[in-house]
Structure 1
């Protein structure tokens, strides 16, 4: 998978370079005040704080109406039922909104990760190619060095032979 555009040299090593192509994308619901608050509220629905608070409110509601402390919603608690219906009517779309936004972020991150893995694979391939080239050069240099060493040995032997012959030729032999 080829990249549409290659990064400029100064961007080539930026740690977030793989996320840059996704920066222009906004999530399905945007990043305005409402979308951000709605997502935060939807995330709050799954917290222990929300569950404990809701349990305390509902328990207080039922106790207050059962003991006669207040009679605004007597048994069978129709108003409480309507409150739960209203909560469900808003909670479901808010949860879906949060899930959609998270899915958008996950998709963008997955694409960035794929590009990152692709870049790493390409860098590894380039390093392997360079290593193979350098290994080939090293083998050639070693071969040449071996040839030169052999030639040096042959020349040293030849010099030794010539020196011995010259010495024998120039020094008179004494007979006693």
Structure 2
């Protein structure tokens, strides 16, 4: 594993020309096998598969019980040993394929959880930014003059002007 990681980090060889460290390593699309394992896991989890497997096992047992003796290939006397071996072989392949499919799903879930966490962090940062902006706007609006404030200031100015006019007219008359 460490050797494969070291080869993946090499920059002196183009990626397409690198050789795999193990001759047993599949050179095809790795994801194709993963999709196959998921297909197997989904298929084995269906009622159709269970009904089909039951019909297969019952057919096997019926054939080897009621068929003419020369046509039988698995004896009831020894407990349908071949059927047991076939079902054991099917189970021995099914279990790892299902585990591989679950591992792929776990990997997808991990990626989704990480993306959700990053999205939540961005949303939190955006929300905090917007909250700061709202507070800044409130402070700015508080400093702005309202209509009532302007009217009051204008009334005061008009009152002052009226008083000044009165004072000037009283001074001019005297």
TM-score by length of 2: 0.71
Tell me the distance in 2 between the aligned counterparts of 1:144 and 1:170.
37
Is residue 74–residue 82 contact of structure 2 (8 Å, CA) maintained in 1?
Answer: yes
Which of residues 90, 97, 101 is equivalent to 1:94?
A: 97
Tell me the distance in 1 between the aligned counterparts of 2:105 and 2:131.
38
Report whether the alignment pairs 1:122 with 2:152. no
Is residue 65–residue 73 contact of structure 1 (8 Å, CA) maintained in 2?
Answer: yes
Tell me the distance in 1 between the aligned counterparts of 2:31 and 2:146.
69
Report whether the alignment pairs 1:106 with 2:109. yes
Is residue 39–residue 98 contact of structure 1 (8 Å, CA) maintained in 2?
Answer: yes
How far is the alpha carbon of 1:55 from its aligned partner?
0.8
2:72 corresponds to: 71
Report whether the alignment pairs 1:54 with 2:30. no
Tell me the distance in 2 between the aligned counterparts of 1:167 and 1:60.
124
SS at match of 2:72: coil
Is residue 43–residue 98 contact of structure 1 (8 Å, CA) maintained in 2?
Answer: no
Is residue 34–residue 104 contact of structure 2 (8 Å, CA) maintained in 1?
Answer: no
Is residue 65–residue 72 contact of structure 1 (8 Å, CA) maintained in 2?
Answer: yes
- Count of aligned positions: 141
Partner deviation per Cα, 1:53-96 (whole Å, 9 max, x = no partner): 11111111111112125411121100000001101110111011
Structure 2 unmatched runs, 5+? 1-28
Q: Which moved more, 1:43-52 or 1:151-160?
A: 151-160
Partner deviation per Cα, 1:18-59 (whole Å, 9 max, x = no partner): xxxxxxxxxxxx743222212211221111111111111111
1:159 corresponds to: 161
TM-score by length of 1: 0.70
Tell me the distance in 2 between the aligned counterparts of 1:52 and 1:104.
31
